[in-house]
């Protein structure tokens, strides 16, 4: 991954997912990948022992726990990519809306404001449609 892509990915994931969701993602990845591919550090717990399937972030004061775990996940995925190992991610259809956008322009305030304007226009259209429906209902009731 290119550095700016990783930076944007980190910003989006940390902004959209809870620390618990990031931790569960790391544990799930730990259950499906070999330490020979990602390195034993990925599986290191707070006490420094290896705990396959119960992956925890390394300790440190400069970063929050979820940031360390996210860095571990990104490093593991990069290692898997270099090793030619692929993992399929299955996401239930009802959770697709949880996937954040990771394009760099999505983090710009201008893009955010454009999206807000589009949403406001959609809400206004829905409001107009609802008002028309109410009028039509009252006309039908009068007949």
What are the backbone dihedrals phi and psi of residue 50, each rounded to the nearest 5 degrees, phi first? -85, 135
Q: Which of 20-24, 89-93, 117-121 holds the top average pLDDT?
A: 117-121
118 lies in which domain range?
Answer: 108-142
- Asked if residue 74 and residue 117 are part of one domain, the reply reads no
What are the backbone dihedrals phi and psi of residue 94, each rounded to the nearest 5 degrees, phi first? -75, -5
Q: Is the pLDDT of residue 107 over 70?
A: no
Per DSSP, the three-state class of 50 is strand
Q: Is residue 102 part of a domain?
A: no
- Asked if residue 92 and residue 27 are part of one domain, the reply reads yes
- Asked if residue 70 and residue 50 are part of one domain, the reply reads yes
- Asked if residue 129 and residue 64 are part of one domain, the reply reads no
Higher pLDDT pick, 24 / 62: 24
Per DSSP, the three-state class of 44 is strand
Rounded Cα distance between 123 and 101, Å, is 22
- Asked if residue 83 and residue 115 are part of one domain, the reply reads no
Q: How much is the average pLDDT of 109-130?
A: 88
H/E stretch holding 117: helix 109-142
How long a stretch of residues is the chain? 143
48-59 pLDDT per residue, tens: 334 444 545 455
Which pTM value belongs to this model?
A: 0.54
Domains identified in the chain, total number: 2
- Asked if residue 75 and residue 28 are part of one domain, the reply reads yes
């Amino acid at each position: 991954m290119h550095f700016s892509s990783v930076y944007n990915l980190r910003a989006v994931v940390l902004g959209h997912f809870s620390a618990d969701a990031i931790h569960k993602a790391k544990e799930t990845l730990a259950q499906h990948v070999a330490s020979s591919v990602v390195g034993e550090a990925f599986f290191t717990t707070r006490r420094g022992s290896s705990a396959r399937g119960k992956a925890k972030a390394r300790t440190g004061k400069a970063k929050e726990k979820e940031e360390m775990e996210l860095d571990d996940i990104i490093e593991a995925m990069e290692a898997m990519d270099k090793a030619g190992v692929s993992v399929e991610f299955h996401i239930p259809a009802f959770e697709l809306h949880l996937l954040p956008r990771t394009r760099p322009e999505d983090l710009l305030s201008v893009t955010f404001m454009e999206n807000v304007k589009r949403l406001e226009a959609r809400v206004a259209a829905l409001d107009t449609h609802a008002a028309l429906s109410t009028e039509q209902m009252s006309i039908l009731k009068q007949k």
